[in-house]
Amino acid sequence: MAGSVVCILKRHCWAIVLLAVLLISGLAIVCDYGISWDEEFQRDYGFHVYQYVHEGDPELLEYRSRYHGPAFQYVLYLAEHLVGPTDPGDVYRLRHVITFLFSVVGAGFFYLLLLEMFRKRSWALLGMALLVLSPRIFAHSFYNSKDASFMYMFIIAMYTMVLMLRNLNWRTAIAHAFACAWLMDIRILGAFVPIFTGILILPRFFWSFNENLRKVPQLLLFVLLILVGMVAFWPTLWHAPLEELMNATVKMRSYPWGDPVRFMGAFYSPRDLPWFYLPWWIIITTPLIHLALIAVGAVVWIFTALGIRPEHRVAVLIWAVLPLWVITNQGATVYDGWRHLYFIWPSFVILAVAGASWLMQRLEVHLPSALVWAVLLLGCALPLQWIVRNHPYQAVYFNALAGKDAGLDYEMDYWGGSYRQALEWLVANFPDGDLLICPAHFPGHLNQRMLLEQDHARLRNMPLDEADFFISNYRFPRELDSFIEKRWPYERPLYQIEVDGNAVVGVYDVRE
């Protein structure tokens, strides 16, 4: 037993080192991030789920967010209940730590998934690095307990799917069913994975029915456990599973979001966005090294075998294309860039690894292998350098394709985590007496909880005409227009955080 553990550690030592570096560096900076717009609502939802499960409180059944997947929010609130932080800021720091730890687990499973597909540790390591070296994905891995946690759980479910495709037995069927159920109870869009599984496994029964007949019981168990697990992990469904599941599906397709969405320098209704809204957001917020490798990899993946099993090639293609096509063509409500589709990002990374592998094979004929790897790693280091230089504002990353006025053409810090740094600057530079402030949006109030108790106590939230300081992240048309034209209350800036020349958040003097 000890010998096998040592063998595994030796075999995967570089993956363990990379995960350790990610873990240690992440824990060192996790407390630097502010509270994002939705976190208070997610925490409140977790509280209602906890109360229903443990106290029988029926208020959950009327709660506005009851059709959102509760699984991860329940875990976060359960951890809060067990740890018992008393400081309001510590509550959110704990949530960020757990969200980040889950992202490390997800990155580890991505390494295993790549190993199953490419059969080479070097490419699995590269893919794991590329996954987290997208600045926006990196930032959201700390505080986005909806989309980022869903992406990492999607990876785990896809890994169990690959294992089940390789060897359909009782163990793989149970593991994959559990992963799918948990995934769907984070977001109902997790239903894509059982759909992928069906697309890939059912043809086997048509092509060689007699040979696969003995696998039918395992397949039926897989379907049954998904249904049972989804209901078990989603308390809203307990009293009327079919009816409430249909309600959740309808809600997902037409989420009631009516605020304007900034795109290409104009504001749109979420229902009237151009069809290319999501693809373009993906393009302009992905590092150029990733885009280049993805472009090469997509062509290679379709037209070259690369030693990849055909079912793996199909799985990655439908992972990359089907969700994007369905959401774009079904008129689903989208906003805040492409964060709702982060779960397809790993499929793009797999294509990028394929592109890197193909280029390596071609270039090694003419150049030393070490030189080719050095150039590749240097390209990967560029996003890492950007991540370090712009910490903790990685979530406002744009590449050169977005243009020089990306901050005016597209939404920047739409979740408002940067209000924390603006508030910290304000209390540090005006150290005496009460501060009469007016935050433009809800995160400006939330992030006051991240301050030291004595600093938080000095803040007084006032209407704008009674405040001394105004804080804004320029999200909606009125704020952005006034900021561009330097109209009141944007006439006298005291402090502004910029990333690549684009304004993220600012503090303004509105004293008479």
Question: Does 84 score more than 70 pLDDT?
Answer: yes
Q: Does one domain contain both 471 and 365? A: no
Q: Which of 341, 365, 385 is the endpoint of a domain?
A: 385
The domain of 193 spans: 2-385
Q: Does one domain contain both 21 and 93? A: yes
Q: What is the 8-class DSSP label of residue 507?
A: E
* Tokens found for residue 31: 């407390």
Q: Does one domain contain both 93 and 202? A: yes
Q: How far apart are CA 179 and CA 259, in angstroms?
A: 34
Is 397 within a domain?
no
Q: Does one domain contain both 371 and 450? A: no
pLDDT category at 335 given cuts 50, 70, 90 is: confident
Q: Does one domain contain both 444 and 493? A: yes
Q: Calculate mean pLDDT across residues 484-501.
A: 96
* Tokens found for residue 260: 């304007």
Question: Does 5 score more than 80 pLDDT?
Answer: no
Is 402 within a domain?
no
pLDDT category at 254 given cuts 50, 70, 90 is: low
pLDDT category at 428 given cuts 50, 70, 90 is: very high
pLDDT category at 401 given cuts 50, 70, 90 is: very high
Residue 18 and residue 108 in contact, taking contact as beta carbons nearer than 8 Å: no
Task: Say what percent of the chain tops pLDDT 90.
Answer: 84
Is 409 within a domain?
no
CA distances (Å), origin 3, targets 7, 10, 457: 6, 11, 58
Looking at the structure of the chain, the number of domains it has is 2
Question: Does 255 score more than 70 pLDDT?
Answer: no
Residue 442 and residue 476 in contact, taking contact as beta carbons nearer than 8 Å: no
Question: Does 463 score more than 80 pLDDT?
Answer: yes
Is 395 within a domain?
no
Q: What is the pLDDT of residue 204?
A: 84
Q: What is the pLDDT of residue 232?
A: 96
Q: For residue 433, count other CB atoms closer than 10 A to its CB.
A: 7
pLDDT category at 39 given cuts 50, 70, 90 is: very high
Question: Does 3 score more than 70 pLDDT?
Answer: no
Q: Calculate mean pLDDT across residues 448-468.
A: 97
End-to-end Cα separation, the chain, in angstroms = 75
Q: What is the 8-class DSSP label of residue 381?
A: H
Q: Which of 337, 367, 385 is the endpoint of a domain?
A: 385
> 361 — phi, psi (to 5°)?
-60, -40
Is 408 within a domain?
no
Q: Calculate mean pLDDT across residues 15-41.
A: 97
* Tokens found for residue 238: 């307990």
Q: What is the pLDDT of residue 391?
A: 97
Is 53 within a domain?
yes
